[in-house]
């Protein structure tokens, strides 16, 4: 069968699409161009068509509204908080797959087989090549020290990426210490939190601050953008660690819906996505890290250097998100 990937603007269109004997319907919060290459490879290998529906907002609400009538077999999204929200909505079913369990480390998948990570991204420091010395950035804990006063830029503290990092601080050191850390980082900000992760790197380039908290994959995105390449060239990636752990990582992941009309084909796609071939394609397109141990990194990502990921279970971090949000609000991080 020829490759057939249907790019559909809304889930409503997908619901109206005629069913095929061999197809998988995917709701995704990731732009289609980021996942088309790996879906192409799956269809070429299996003959199973993949229908993609980009759902930018309201994914959980859509799945709950559709209920048993949902045409979606799988959902793909980013950030453990989003995955956990889908779990708590009760719209998923477990997938008992030896392939998935053997391929994905235990801390990067649900203990009850409801979601599985496909790639990881590290939340790290982008440091000015001119104003930050090698070895000056060490640990996440150190970001709250006085030496960084007026030198840090971040996006909003209540953004999912920063809440996940703060949840990791709570997991390592407890709530009281995490609150002290958040207040310390706030005191070191060069400006009020604003914009997205790329905006923070632009601020470093402009001399407004010396370091930013940014997800690794944004380096690849900026280097590919002629306007933003100068921002990327002005910084280097530094991998902080926790004093008793590794570098904080988050995930993109996949899960099977309760309604899945094409369950067998959907599981085949899930298992394909953790194969060495798919992991290399998906990780390179997104400049992220594969979850499959030993999978090939893109040349660009490999050039950023190696790091030791933190091993705290992401499900535990998701449970700490409300506490992290409370702390950010109590310290007035975004005020």
Helices 175-187 and 321-330 sit at what angle, rounded to 10 degrees? 50
Does the structure show a pLDDT above 60 at 12?
no
Per-residue pLDDT tens over the stretch 285-300: 889 999 999 898 889 9
Question: What is the model's pTM?
Answer: 0.89
Does the structure show a pLDDT above 60 at 123?
yes
Helix (H, G, I), strand (E, B) or coil at 34: helix
Residue 21: what pLDDT?
54
How many Å apart are CA 170 and CA 175, to the nearest integer?
5
Closest among 3, 8, 2, 1 to 51, alpha carbons compared: 8
Secondary structure letter of residue 143 according to DSSP: G
Does the structure show a pLDDT above 70 at 20?
no
Give the chain's mean pLDDT.
92
Percent of the chain with pLDDT over 70: 94
The terminus-to-terminus CA distance of the chain in angstroms comes to 56
Per-residue pLDDT tens over the stretch 83-93: 999 999 999 99
Going by pLDDT thresholds of 50, 70 and 90, the confidence category of residue 11 is very low
Per-residue pLDDT tens over the stretch 188-242: 999 999 999 999 999 999 999 999 999 999 999 999 999 999 999 999 999 999 9
Q: What structural domains and CATH numbers belong to the chain? A: 5-120+250-300 (3.40.190.10), 122-248+308-330 (3.40.190.10)
Q: Which residues pair with 71 in a beta bridge?
A: none
Going by pLDDT thresholds of 50, 70 and 90, the confidence category of residue 328 is very high
Residue 8: what pLDDT?
47
β-strands 152-153, 74-78: how paired?
unpaired
Residue 282: what pLDDT?
84
Residue with tokens 């949840």: 167
Q: Which residues pair with 53 in a beta bridge?
A: 8, 27
Residue 286: what pLDDT?
87
């Amino acid at each position: 069968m020829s490759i057939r990937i249907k790019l559909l603007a809304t889930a409503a269109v997908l619901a109206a699409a005629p069913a095929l004997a061999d197809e998988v319907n995917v709701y995704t919060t990731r732009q289609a161009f980021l996942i088309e290459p790996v879906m192409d490879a799956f269809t070429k290998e299996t003959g199973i068509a993949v229908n993609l529906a980009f759902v930018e907002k309201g994914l959980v609400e859509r799945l709950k509204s559709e209920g048993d009538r949902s045409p979606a077999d799988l959902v793909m999204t980013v950030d453990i908080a989003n995955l956990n929200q889908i779990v708590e909505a009760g719209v998923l079913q477990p997938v008992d797959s030896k392939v998935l369990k053997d391929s994905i480390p235990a801390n990067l998948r649900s203990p009850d087989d409801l979601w599985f990570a496909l790639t990881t991204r590290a939340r790290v420091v982008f440091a000015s090549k001119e104003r930050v010395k090698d070895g000056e950035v060490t640990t996440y804990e150190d970001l709250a020290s006085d030496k960084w006063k007026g030198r840090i830029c971040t996006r909003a503290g209540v953004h999912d990426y920063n809440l996940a990092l703060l949840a990791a601080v709570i997991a390592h050191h407890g709530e009281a210490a995490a609150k002290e850390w958040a207040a310390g980082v706030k005191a070191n900000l060069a400006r009020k939190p604003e914009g997205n992760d790329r905006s923070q790197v632009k601020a470093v380039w402009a001399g407004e601050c010396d370091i930013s908290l940014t997800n690794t994959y944004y380096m690849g995105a900026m280097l590919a953008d002629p306007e933003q390449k100068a921002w990327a060239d002005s910084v280097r990636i530094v991998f902080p660690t926790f004093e008793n752990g590794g570098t904080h990582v988050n995930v993109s992941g996949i899960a099977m819906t309760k309604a899945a009309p094409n369950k067998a084909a959907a599981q085949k796609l899930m298992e394909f996505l953790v194969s060495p071939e798919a992991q290399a394609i998906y990780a390179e397109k997104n400049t992220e890290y594969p979850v499959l141990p030993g999978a090939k990194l893109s040349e660009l990502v490999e050039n950023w250097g190696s790091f030791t990921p933190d091993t705290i279970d992401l499900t535990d971090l998701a449970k700490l998100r409300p506490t992290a949000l409370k702390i950010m609000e109590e310290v007035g991080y975004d005020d």
